[in-house]
Amino acid sequence: MNPRRQRLLLIFAGLGVLGLIAALVLNALRSNLVFFFSPSQVIAGEAPGGGTFRLGGLVKEKTLRREADGVTISFVITDRTHDVPVRYQGILPDLFREGKGTVVQGRLDGGVLVASEVLAKHDENYTPPEAAQIMGGGQMPREKAGQTLPSVMSP
């Protein structure tokens, strides 16, 4: 083989290895992506039927039920338009309350979201614009009672 063919073979082999690495990285990223949906979007069928996703909204009042085993909890997440029942097995965060915002991650099973993780919203002063729009609040105020809300980044 002459040196030119060796160089071309080496370049094509290098490109093949880079392509394989890129495909593996993209596949790993795609399998770890978790999308956020509102209860209205879940009811409309926009959420993946068999895949994991996050559901955000308010815990509906008077829907929190604990099973006799003490670890299984069921409740309903609402966006004030539609409701999605949730079942979770584990310990809830300390800030988890009825009427407060929460995000749960899990899979749909027969119309019930079987949650693997429950996150409680810790501060009612700030809501991401996407979540505020989903909840029907539109734009969140920049000031509250004449005070500027704390910034996300502190010096």
Binding residues: 122, 126
Residue 115 forms beta bridges with which residues?
Answer: 88, 106
Residue 48's nearest CA partner among 135, 119, 106, 115 is 106
Binding residues for heme: 122, 126
Residue 139's nearest CA partner among 153, 120, 126 is 126
Q: How far apart are CA 85 and CA 77, in angstroms?
A: 6
Q: How far apart are CA 103 and CA 30, in angstroms?
A: 21
Q: How far apart are CA 56 and CA 132, in angstroms?
A: 11
Residue 59's nearest CA partner among 30, 45, 29, 79 is 79
